[in-house]
């Protein structure tokens, strides 16, 4: 699995004036600074964490798993194709507390001026946020294998992108009983097809 390093503020004066550029106008690569690793700090209380969107509008929060099929997910905007889900877990208040603690009390060890992004994305799990009427309001898609996630809107607060956060979420999913999609040793599950439409062989138990 390859990782791309994304640099912020890479170039200064990227478009010099016509003619031979001066030394000050030459492209300059900024030195990488910071530490992407997670450090836990109990900065936000349970009450404060529950005020982050979309926890502040959610009446019910569920964890789900599903097969990956060429970016065809069972979650589309506010619509959920329930019969395509493999596992569904409604979170208790205590479990929501653990989830928000992972999301909002894990920080960069040192704020970086760069980030990392893996070149794969096969989400099989999600966190779903429902309002009091049972309508799906927001969600977070997660690919544990590729260490990536995707929010349903820019309003969803995920917190710091520190390196170990997805692994902490994976362990949380496992602790609630979800198995599908949480084993990083399985690249493709029975009944799935990858981006090249290659059908996976059955897994022998």
pLDDT at 135 over 90: yes
Distances (CA, A) of 141 to 9, 14, 27, 49, 151: 28, 36, 37, 20, 6
Alpha helices, DSSP H, located in 69-157: 93-104
Task: Label residue 196 by pLDDT band (50, 70, 90).
Answer: very low
| Residue 29 pLDDT level (bands cut at 50, 70, 90) | low
The pTM (predicted TM-score) of the whole model is 0.81
Tokens of 197: 């439409």
> Is the model more confident about 63 or about 27?
63
Chain segment 49-103, per-residue pLDDT in tens: 999 999 999 999 999 999 998 878 899 888 899 989 999 999 999 999 999 999 9
* Strongest mean pLDDT among 59-63, 79-83, 112-116, 192-196: 59-63
Q: What is the structure's pLDDT at 26?
A: 44
Q: What is the pLDDT of residue 194?
A: 59
Of 18-32, 50-64, 95-109, 170-184, minimum mean pLDDT range: 18-32
Question: Measured on CA atoms in the order 110, 154, 137, 143, is the torsion positive or negative?
Answer: negative
- Model pLDDT for residues 6-18, shown as the tens digit of each residue: 444 433 334 344 4
Alpha helices of the chain — where are they, by DSSP H? 46-49, 93-104, 165-175
The angle, 0 to 180 degrees and rounded to 10, between the axes of the packed helices 165-175 and 93-104 is 170
The pLDDT of residue 117 is 75
**Residue 37 in 3-state DSSP?**
strand
Return the higher-pLDDT residue of 195 and 118. Answer: 118
Instruction: Give the whole-number percent of the chain exceeding pLDDT 70.
Output: 80
35-40 vs 114-118, strand pairing mode? unpaired
CA 68 from centroid of its chain's CA atoms: 16
Enumerate helices (H) and strands (E) in the chain, giving the number of each. 3, 11
Whole-angstrom Cα distance, residue 121 to residue 147?
A: 8
Q: Minimum mean pLDDT among 83-87, 164-168, 201-205: which range? A: 201-205
Mean pLDDT computed over every residue of the chain? 85
What percentage of the chain carries pLDDT values higher than 90?
A: 63
């Amino acid at each position: 699995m390859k990782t791309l390093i994304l640099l912020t503020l890479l170039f200064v004066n990227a478009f010099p004036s016509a003619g031979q550029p001066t030394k000050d106008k030459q492209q300059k690569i900024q030195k990488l600074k910071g530490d992407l690793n997670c450090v836990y700090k109990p900065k936000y209380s349970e009450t404060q964490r529950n005020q982050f969107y979309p926890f502040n509008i959610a009446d019910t929060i569920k964890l789900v798993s599903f097969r990956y099929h060429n970016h065809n997910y069972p979650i589309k905007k506010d619509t959920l194709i329930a019969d395509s889900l493999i596992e569904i877990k409604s979170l208790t208040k205590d479990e929501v507390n653990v989830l928000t603690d992972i999301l909002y009390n894990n920080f960069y060890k040192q704020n970086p001026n760069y980030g990392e992004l893996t070149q794969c994305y096969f989400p099989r799990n999600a966190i779903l946020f429902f309002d009091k009427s049972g309508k799906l309001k927001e969600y977070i898609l997660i690919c544990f294998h590729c260490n990536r996630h995707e929010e349903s809107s820019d309003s969803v607060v995920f917190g710091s992108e520190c390196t170990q956060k997805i692994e902490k979420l994976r362990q949380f999913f496992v602790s609630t009983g979800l198995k599908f999609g949480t084993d990083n040793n399985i690249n493709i599950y029975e009944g799935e097809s990858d981006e090249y439409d290659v059908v996976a062989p059955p897994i022998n138990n």
